[in-house]
């Protein structure tokens, strides 16, 4: 006999870096199992893959995860977890005085994307010419193995992350332009202009939470700044 199926609720969700809106459903018990197994493995690659698959399954519509910044994926996952298993996360944190491990509860709503300014991606290079930027995707950063501080790598990242180039008359979509021409554009920037663009990456938003708790053993108040998704799931 066919048993009744339950309706799954749906929630609106906004992609932080682009402002695009989508609809998301909570993850199901069978999907949570896969996630928990990945987390137990403590293998960052498995965890990233499980999170990625969860988001793909639960978001409706055409969302290309490969174009998202890593903080987009982290924020989406937090929201997904919030609607799926609740807004509270339990973590264990050591007292800064006596090192006693304390159980502390975090509200997902209080985890913020720090430094997130939706307009920071528009950079004017002169009175008439400017660029709009996008944040590096996880894949791009993985491809840029080696020295992330070298000028070559930085120039490659900058070239890959220029979304559009604009002047008073036109907006040029760099995905549609010849990559060589975009490289030439970057090569011909002045040092000051290049610094303007690269400062965009230094202000990449990060998930952040100020953790404060009084130790249950010695009552000392500890405070930590938690940054990045992995610090909430240890
Ligand atoms: Zn203590």
Burial code (b: 16+ CB inside 10 Å, e: under 16) for 61-80 equals: eebebeebbbbbbbbbbbbb
Distance 101 CA to ligand 1 centre (A): 8
> In 3D, which of 109, 89, 107, 104 has the Cα closest to residue 213?
104
Distance 219 CA to ligand 1 centre (A): 6
Per-residue pLDDT tens digits of the chain, which is 234 residues long: 889 888 889 999 999 888 889 999 999 999 999 999 998 888 878 888 899 999 999 999 888 888 888 899 999 999 999 999 999 999 999 999 999 999 999 999 999 998 778 778 899 999 999 999 988 887 777 777 666 677 888 888 899 999 999 999 999 999 899 999 999 999 999 999 999 998 898 888 989 999 999 999 999 999 999 998 888 876
CA diameter of the chain: 72
Alpha-carbon distance of 19 to 3, in angstroms, equals 40
pLDDT at 226: 94
| pTM recorded for the entire structure | 0.78
Distance 104 CA to ligand 1 centre (A): 13
Distance 88 CA to ligand 1 centre (A): 23
Chain mean position to CA 185: 28
What are the residues whose beta carbon lies below 5 Å from ligand 1 (ion)? 95, 97-98, 100, 215, 217-218, 220
Residues written for the chain: 234
Alpha-carbon distance of 131 to 120, in angstroms, equals 11
pLDDT at 148: 65
Chain mean position to CA 79: 12
Distance 212 CA to ligand 1 centre (A): 13
Q: Give Cα separations from 196 to 43, 126, 182, 201 (angstroms).
A: 37, 11, 17, 10
């Amino acid at each position: 006999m066919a048993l009744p199926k339950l309706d799954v609720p749906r929630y609106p969700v906004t992609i932080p870096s682009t402002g695009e809106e989508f609809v998301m459903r909570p993850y199901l018990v069978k999907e949570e199992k896969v996630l928990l197994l990945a987390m137990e493995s403590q293998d960052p690659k498995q965890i990233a893959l499980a999170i990625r698959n969860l988001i793909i399954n639960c978001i409706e519509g055409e969302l290309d995860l490969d174009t998202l910044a890593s903080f987009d994926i982290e924020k989406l996952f937090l929201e997904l977890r919030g609607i799926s298993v609740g807004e509270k996360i339990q973590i264990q944190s050591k007292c800064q005085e006596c090192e006693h491990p304390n159980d502390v509860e975090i509200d997902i709503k209080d985890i913020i994307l720090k430094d997130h300014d939706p307009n920071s991606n528009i950079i004017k290079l002169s009175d008439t010419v400017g660029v709009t930027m996008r944040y590096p995707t996880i894949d791009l950063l993985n491809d840029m193995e080696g020295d992330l501080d070298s000028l070559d790598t930085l120039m490659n990242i900058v070239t890959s992350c220029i979304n559009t180039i604009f002047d008073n008359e036109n907006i040029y979509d760099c995905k549609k332009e010849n990559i060589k021409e975009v490289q030439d554009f970057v090569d011909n920037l002045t040092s000051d202009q290049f610094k303007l663009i690269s400062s965009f990456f230094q202000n990449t938003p990060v998930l952040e939470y100020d953790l404060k708790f009084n130790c249950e053993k010695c009552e000392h108040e500890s405070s930590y700044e938690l940054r990045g998704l992995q610090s909430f799931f240890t």
